[in-house]
A and B are shown apart, each in its own frame.
Chain A
Amino acid sequence: MLLEARGIVKTFGSFHAVDGADLTLAENELIGLIGPNGAGKSTFFNCLAGEARPTLGKIRFRGADVTALSSAAHAGLGLARTFQVPIVFEGMSVRENVMVGAFLRHPARRRAEEKADEVLEFTGLAAQADMLATALGTAGRKRLGIARALATEPILLLLDEALAGLTSAEMEGAIALVERIHARGITLVVVEHIMEVIHRLTRRVLVFNQGRVIAEGTPAEVTHIPAVIEAYLGRRAQGSPESRAP
């Protein structure tokens, strides 16, 4: 087992953002995490990445307890993540942005640079390497976020809505990139809204609602589970799901 999260609870005051969620991941799996807005996916995700410490529960990564470790320590162990809204490092070129990630395993500048160039080639950003990162558009920034995370040479990569807000052409490119990352032997967890993407990329999905995993199975299976349909339609009917996000 690569990653094992048991009984994760995360509360903010009296609000239970995550209310007892479990996840097990085998080496080189590619799983999806879906659910309506405010279902607790992001908070669960933050717990896995070490950004939020679960109120209750345990997370083991390659057998070691990582529940209380910092986000930087997670990266050191090979557990990397991207952000839904990508934060690029201002005043740095695309290559320099990626080098920040590469320095984790390669303290010497020259080696970090080589690693960054290799990742830029792999992610299709080589042509923009010398541009200021802030000059990239949404698709470019998301790709840069993935490139930076890859430069830390992760075993497990958590992608937070890496495809949201892209045009259909950009989305094709991004799906192909995720598949290539998977083909490299990296385990992936993708949080997505777009069911089509989930259908094409994953063979196993977890459906979140109200802080719990309410269904698990293949994308085709879960979309026919009544609880899932209700979770999606029910919440949409209530309107303004944004307001519940912590």
Chain B
Amino acid sequence: MILLQLAADGLLLGAVYALFSSGLTLIWGMMNVINFAHGDFVMLAMYVAFFAFTLLKIGPIFFVPLAAMALFGLGVLVYVALVRHVMRGPMLAQILSTFGLALFLRYAALWAFSANFVSLPDNLVGGVYQLGGIRLSASHLLAGGTALVLTLGMHLVLTRTDLGSRMLAVSEDRVAASLVGIRAERMQALAWGLGAAATGVAGGLIVLFFYVSPEVGNAFTLLAFVTVCLGGFGSVPGALIAGLLIGVIESFSAYWLGPATKDVVVFALFVVLLWVRPQGLLGRA
């Protein structure tokens, strides 16, 4: 029974990982740029949600969309002011740009909010449901369910809508897309906006049951890397499956190895994965 419980917890958390990771994979798929600040986006969203609750006294129904909008704006801003200019520059500039952004966000947060851990009250989304002996807390259910729906939604938008096919066209061939009248720059800005909005929602959901500190971002960045790498760079369904899997792996290793070392397994998995299959476990060569 404990195994089922661990698996259920892992799946619900994994759905949230899948959501912010699909943001990373969307950006990568569109323009082959890795956002080294991705986890710090999640951190920022968590603070947005936290302060929206403590200062504006608004609940998750409002602060999750608020965090999503805030991060959407940040994503577009980062693209317009930074990424757009370094994309076709030297590799060094591409890699440094978002890494510098990560540092900036992390230490600006440290400066502004101090290193203290803060969290929302436990009972904000209270209640525990029993399902055949498995205990599922309402906050986890809400987070996991919302994340799952939105990740699937993102996949549908990308594959079933006109907007999605225009974005796909830009990712496949920028020049050709411009020739048929698609504004590549706008699509790429949108990808950054949506990718960041995914971290916005995810951050707003995680904060329901997880503490915030300026340094949580690093672990989320690495979790997003391993998820995207496992699911194949650029694939949203891949990120979904991989995110769920990572959640379960983390949940089990936290149980067996203790919470302090749970990330060892996931990070080690990432390193091994990069060595043996850089194109991703589910990805194509």
Contacts and interface: CB of A to CB of B under 8 A. Distances in A.
A12 B284 CA distance: 10
A246 to B, nearest CB: 11
A242 B176 contact: yes
Contacts, number: 8
Contact of B173 (A12, A13, A90, A242): A242
A243 to B, nearest CB: 8
Interface residues of A, number: 6
Contacts of B176: 240, 242-243
Interface string A205-246: 000000000000000000000000000000000001011000
Interface string A1-25: 0000000000011000000000000
B113 to A, nearest CB: 41
A240 B172 CA distance: 14
Interface residues of B, number: 5
Nearest to B176: A242
B90 interface: yes
Interface in A78-119: 90
Nearest to A90: B90
A46 to B, nearest CB: 15
Interface in B86-107: 90
Contacts of A242: 173, 176
Interface string B172-188: 01001000000000000
Contacts of A243: 173, 176
Interface in A1-58: 12-13
8 contacts: A12-B285, A13-B284, A90-B90, A240-B176, A242-B173, A242-B176, A243-B173, A243-B176
Interface of B: 90, 173, 176, 284-285
Given A12-B285, A242-B173, A242-B176, 5 more contacts: A13-B284, A90-B90, A240-B176, A243-B173, A243-B176
Interface of A: 12-13, 90, 240, 242-243
